[in-house]
Amino acid sequence: MKVVSKASEYFHSLDTLRFVAFFCVFISHVFVFSGISSGNSVIEILTPYLFTQGNLGVSLFFVLSGFLITWLLFKEKEKNEGLAIRKFYMRRILRIWPVYLLVLFVGMMVIPFLLVNINDSVFIGSGLLEYTPSGLWKYVFFAMNSYMVDIGRIPFYIAILWSISIEEQFYFVWPWIVKMFNKSKLPILFIFLIISSTYFRFNNIHDMEYIRYATMSVLSDLVMGAFGAYLVLYLPRLKEWFIEQRKYIGYILLISVPVVFYVFKIIELHSVSTDTIFPDLVFTLSSTAISIYFLYIVLFVTYNKHAYLKVPLKRTCEFLGQRSYGLYCYHAFGLLLTNILIRAEVLPVSNTTLSLLIYMIVSFGITLVITVTSYSYVEKPILKLKERFV
């Protein structure tokens, strides 16, 4: 069956969702690295369950990436009756590499000089001394997540790149899979990969480095997004079902987000605190269920005519979402510079909710300035070259 959608279709609603995913990560890191206590008992109680769940924001990023990249690959394959993989690689290189390598350079060469007289152990970490030739290739060649699994901890402003490494690994392999496999066989492959990833998590359930950073562990998120792209393209009734869903479903999804985050954390903590099989199995399956939940949100926001994320602050969220890659990669610098301002007593703070809010606003503002500058003078000029590889 031929796909009838235009190849040039652009999902503006996904820009909004990208920003939401980034903001989950950003809020989590604010609470972890600010060193500020809100002083509010309710916030303190809810913090581990709602405000430090950045890993779920990353999962949403992965589902989004798997969906969008696979959708684009399917569209190209249908339109051109094949895939120009070299052009695909060039488009990904032009989009990902400049910021990635810039962050790597600044994190390895510039930031250590800024920290030399600052006793900020939270940001420095033991990994500051791990810039050795034996591990350098993993930094440069998108194996950062492997380094995280082996070492456990490296400087935060570098470690943030681990998820970009996984996406690049996925982008390297995935177009070949889409090209070689007949589309009728792909669902079997998708299910096999999701089950394999789920089993990998269960087999390494008490090794948090593997659970969080291993490629095989998070592969189910990417493949779940890919499966969603396949379903809406080749099962038009499913797409129509999402289009016609009632408006109240969107509000239910919005309300359900904090509930899902809260329940997931309870399941995770229960698994970590016990050695029995059942809680481990529930935690393993809940990670896969989260992928399905995020995929449902992606498809609803993308196709439903009443999707709530298409209305409030639409232009602002799209603007920020289009720059979410930079926001994600640079926000560690924003947090670090805010910490430096606090150490220098330029930004006086105390353990209050207001101080936490000020920290959040200042660090986001710094991140946004860095991101917009990078987008204007680094990314945008390079992205113009992508037109040569369409």
Domain boundaries of the chain, sorted by first residue: 12-389
The rounded distance, in Å, linking the Cα atoms of 14 and 21 is 10
Task: Evaluate if residue 229 carries a pLDDT over 90.
Answer: yes
In this prediction, residue 153 has a pLDDT band, given cuts at 50, 70 and 90, of: low
Average pLDDT over residues 249-267: 92
Quote the pLDDT of residue 308.
60
For the record, the structure tokens of 286 come out as 């809940």
Percent of the chain with pLDDT over 90: 58
Q: Residue 117, exposed/middle/buried by CB under 10 A (0-12, 13-18, 19+)?
A: exposed
Quote the pLDDT of residue 5.
39
Average pLDDT over the chain, rounded to whole? 87
Quote the pLDDT of residue 3.
39
- Look at 2 and 312; give whichever has higher pLDDT: 312
The rounded distance, in Å, linking the Cα atoms of 301 and 232 is 13
The rounded distance, in Å, linking the Cα atoms of 22 and 363 is 14
Contacts of residue 305, Cβ cutoff 8 Å, sequence gap at least 6: 243, 244
In this prediction, residue 107 has a pLDDT band, given cuts at 50, 70 and 90, of: confident
149: number of Cβ within 10 Å: 20
Percent of the chain with pLDDT over 70: 90
In this prediction, residue 119 has a pLDDT band, given cuts at 50, 70 and 90, of: low
In this prediction, residue 349 has a pLDDT band, given cuts at 50, 70 and 90, of: confident
H or E element at residue 260:
helix 247-273
Average pLDDT over residues 349-364: 92
Quote the pLDDT of residue 121.
54
The number of angstroms, rounded, from the C-alpha of 65 to the middle of its chain's C-alpha atoms is 8
- Look at 206 and 232; give whichever has higher pLDDT: 232
In this prediction, residue 227 has a pLDDT band, given cuts at 50, 70 and 90, of: very high
Quote the pLDDT of residue 310.
55
Quote the pLDDT of residue 206.
86
In this prediction, residue 166 has a pLDDT band, given cuts at 50, 70 and 90, of: very high
| Range 174-177, long-range pairs (CB < 8 A, 24+ positions) | 174/69, 174/70, 174/73, 174/226, 175/73, 175/83, 175/85, 175/88, 175/89, 176/85
Of 292, 223, 283, 293, the closest CA to residue 256 belongs to 293
Average pLDDT over residues 130-136: 56
Task: Evaluate if residue 4 carries a pLDDT over 80.
Answer: no
Q: Are 100 and 164 in contact (CB under 8 A)?
A: yes
Task: Evaluate if residue 109 carries a pLDDT over 70.
Answer: yes
**Residue located via tokens 């060193």:** 35
Quote the pLDDT of residue 358.
94
- Directed axis angle between helix 186-203 and helix 215-234, to 10°? 150
Quote the pLDDT of residue 41.
87
Quote the pLDDT of residue 6.
39
Q: What is the pLDDT of residues 42-82, one digit of tens each?
A: 999 999 999 999 999 999 999 999 999 999 999 999 888 88
Task: Evaluate if residue 128 carries a pLDDT over 80.
Answer: no
Quote the pLDDT of residue 316.
86
The rounded distance, in Å, linking the Cα atoms of 305 and 14 is 14
Q: What is the pLDDT of residues 169-204, one digit of tens each?
A: 999 999 999 999 988 999 999 999 999 999 999 999
In eight-state DSSP terms, residue 8 is: T
In this prediction, residue 129 has a pLDDT band, given cuts at 50, 70 and 90, of: very low
